Chains A and B, each alone.
Chain A
Amino acid sequence: MKLQLHPLQTETWFHIGPVPISAEVVVTWVIMAVLVLVSWLGMRRAEVRGGWLQSTLEVTVEAIADQIKAVIRSEPWPYLPLLGTLFIYLACANLSGVLPGVVAPTAHIETPAALTVIVFFSVQFYGFKEQGFAGYLKRYLEPNPLLLPLNLLSQITRSFSLMVRLFGNMMSHEFIIAIVLFLAGLFVPVPFMLLGILIGLIQAFIFTVLATVYVGGAVGATEAG
């Protein structure tokens, strides 16, 4: 028996035309379909005194909006579609690894990289929108024009660390389970899997909070992290 693990390789399931479709893409699309279906079912006939599903969705959205408001200290609603979707998708994606036969999409580097690119460009977009073109560009020259290279570098490194943090945590957790299973046997990894549920939720929270802090920094509400 040989332990075969490769953290940077993805497994191709099938091809659509010339495009290879990997397991992560399938899982991502299933999660998206489930989320869209649940939201549609809950809000199909929205009433003032809604049913249990509508109330659950409303409580979730309100809770996320409260958290965003506490971080950026201004109206959370313009940023809620992006940040709330990020959190809900990440929570589902990180937890999907618990299901047997499913690979968490965030445990391979492509998904965190794509999410990080989205966050990176959204931060610049919100900055331009809130402060104007010149106003936002001026922030790169503060507190001193000499610090321009460092400001640019910090934009890149913080995005990079956002990506690698999510990827590293989810991937290393999968690795630990695989190695413990290989060394010790069938039921020994169960406590690690329970820990994995906690880690998945915390990482979803951290990714969202950091994205919120970056957005807040770009729109000028808080100090950039």
Chain B
Amino acid sequence: MTVDMLSILGAALAVSVGAIGPAFAEGRAIAAAMEAIARQPEASGTISRTLFVGLAMIETMAIYCLVVALLLLYANPFTQ
């Protein structure tokens, strides 16, 4: 196994494992927001704006994994 192959494996692993947690979390957040909107349709503006901000926060974790994968694939410090 060369460093290149290990980097590709690491990148795939980082994205695939790192996407699981945020996916579940975003699903729960959206389900809760749906419930809240169904109960109180008049507050849907506030709820959806807060939901977007919260989703962005959750998504950050997945994006960190994406950054790690991109660094491994395109700017790998160990292969140059």
Interface on A for B, CB 8 Å cutoff?
6-8, 67, 70-71, 161, 164-165, 168, 172, 202, 205-206, 209-210, 213, 225
Q: C-beta contact mask, B22-66 vs A, less than 8 Å → 1, else 0?
A: 000000000000000000000001100100110111011001101
Identify 8 new A-B residue pairs, CB closer than 8 A, beyond the known A161-B60, A161-B64, A225-B53: A70-B45, A71-B49, A164-B66, A172-B66, A206-B53, A209-B49, A209-B52, A210-B53
- A residues in contact with B63, CB < 8 Å: 161, 164-165, 168
Give the nearest-CB partner of A161 in chain B. Answer: B60
- B residues in contact with A225, CB < 8 Å: 53, 57
Are A168 and B66 in touch, CB under 8 angstroms?
yes
Main secondary structure, interface of B, reads helix
User: How many angstroms from the CA of A168 to the CA of B66 in the assembled complex?
Assistant: 7
**Cβ of B22 to closest chain A Cβ, rounded Å:** 12
Are A205 and B66 in touch, CB under 8 angstroms?
no
Main secondary structure, interface of A, reads helix
**Cβ of B44 to closest chain A Cβ, rounded Å:** 13
Closest CB pairs A-B (n = 6): A161-B60, A168-B63, A206-B56, A168-B66, A164-B63, A165-B63
Are A70 and B46 in touch, CB under 8 angstroms?
yes
Given A70-B45, A165-B63, A209-B52, are A7 and B70 neighbors across the interface (CB < 8 Å)? Answer: yes
Give the nearest-CB partner of B55 in chain A. Answer: A206
Give the nearest-CB partner of B66 in chain A. Answer: A168
Given A161-B63, A164-B63, A168-B67, are A209 and B74 neighbors across the interface (CB < 8 Å)? Answer: no
Q: Does B75 contact A (CB under 8 A)?
A: yes
User: How many angstroms from the CA of A213 to the CA of B75 in the assembled complex?
Assistant: 33
**Cβ of B62 to closest chain A Cβ, rounded Å:** 9
User: How many angstroms from the CA of A165 to the CA of B49 in the assembled complex?
Assistant: 17
- A residues in contact with B52, CB < 8 Å: 202, 205-206, 209
- B residues in contact with A206, CB < 8 Å: 52-53, 55-56
